[in-house]
Amino acid sequence: MNQINLDQVSINIDGTSIVDHVSFTLKQGEIGCLLGPSGSGKTTLLRAIAGFLPICHGSVSMRGEIVDDCSSCVSPDKRRIGMMFQDLALFPHLTVSENIAFGIRRQGRKKVQDRVDELLSIVNLQELKTSYPHQLSGGQQQRVALMRAMAPRPDLILLDEPFSSQDTELRVQLVQEVRDILNKDNVTALLVTHDQHEAFAIADIIGVLNRGRLAQWDTAYNLYHTPADRFVADFVGEGVFVCGNILDEKTVQTELGNVTGELATELPRGTQIDLLVRPDDIIHDDYSTFRGTVLKKSFRGAGHLYTLRMPGGTNVMCLAPSHHDHQIGENIGVRLRLDHLVAFPSI
């Protein structure tokens, strides 16, 4: 059974449309993500699912039962939803065990203790159960907040930018840990973030929001390789649009040469298009006649990410092995290697 289903949900705040006809479904055990820039409606949608904001159109269902259809609305405390907030909101005067047990206090002492011990073992925090939040590291606080949300065995856990306060290195570690924890307990979860790397690392399925509309609800792979529109193509992953002209159903002419491959969109011959080119689509090739001038370089350990200016004025990015160490202003050879052509009519 679907744990959560949104059908054409719209939300207005003070007469302004914030979310516009959004539909998606999460199955039991799936981890979903709402991804988009600030102001795209991500947190508003999360709050409506939790029951903190009313919807003005459509319906929200959980476990096949409608919890909000504009005419009637189930209160937040009756939706069996766990929340993990951006600021974690741990109670400073309660121990780790007491924080985790907060939402299940009325279930009986032994039952509560068994559940707390079970969750502490999942995150290996048994030795810190009598500690207070200020005695924990940021990562440990994050785990406690997640365990508190999971303690009542909710049907759905909502996570609102949960990693934003952590430094980059810890964030990478926490994202993978949280995914493992949710999977281990077969928890259905919905995450809100503006960071696509977080979304790719944790989510089974991702919804890209643009100005309140759901541009695409899909896997990370499909968002990257087959974006539904220009916004998704531009927002997800690194890349640029290169001007081109369709010669036939499988060939596009560009200033980096003719490219052959399967066009993702049917466009007539002669159409002027913008071809999506990712850094991994441009191959460093010392023998190529197509040369670009290095404008920027970023060392990434195994490789360099170069920004190149082509003779026609187009800037492209090239991901090259680290032993190809070129300097700013140097001309280097490149060639396109594209199998799946993502193109949109020029604007």
Spell out the domain ranges in the chain.
2-234, 239-345
- Domain 239-345 in CATH: superfamily? Nucleic acid-binding proteins (2.40.50.140)
CA distance 210 to 336: 30
- For residue 266, what is the enclosing H or E element? none
Query: Which residues have CB under 8 Å from 333's CB, separation 6+?
Result: 284, 285, 286, 287, 288, 289, 290, 291
Say if residue 339's pLDDT is above 90.
no
Which CATH code, of 3.20.130.10, 3.40.50.720, 3.30.1950.10, 3.40.50.300, is assigned to 2-234? 3.40.50.300
Q: Which residue has the higher pLDDT, 265 or 12?
A: 12
pLDDT (mean) for 56-79: 94
Buried (b) or exposed (e) across 44-76, using 16+ Cβ within 10 A?
bbbbbbbbebebebbbbbbeeeebbeeeebeee
- Burial (CB count <10 Å: 0-12, 13-18, 19+), residue 92: exposed
Tens of pLDDT, residue by residue over 127-164, are 999 999 999 988 889 889 989 999 999 999 999 888 77
Say if residue 310's pLDDT is above 70.
yes
Can you give the pLDDT at residue 117? 93
Amino acid at 217: W
- Do the beta carbons of residue 206 and residue 32 sit within 8 Å? yes
Say if residue 248's pLDDT is above 90.
no
CA distance 240 to 253: 16
244 phi, psi to nearest 5 deg:
-155, 175
Amino acid at 311: P
Q: Which tokens is 245 given?
A: 């002209």
Q: Which tokens is 82 given?
A: 């766990």
Amino acid at 233: A
Residue 199 confidence class, pLDDT cut points 50, 70, 90: very high
The pTM of the full predicted model, rounded to 2 decimals, is: 0.88
Q: Residue with structure tokens 């087959």?
A: 226
Q: Which residue has the higher pLDDT, 330 or 124?
A: 330
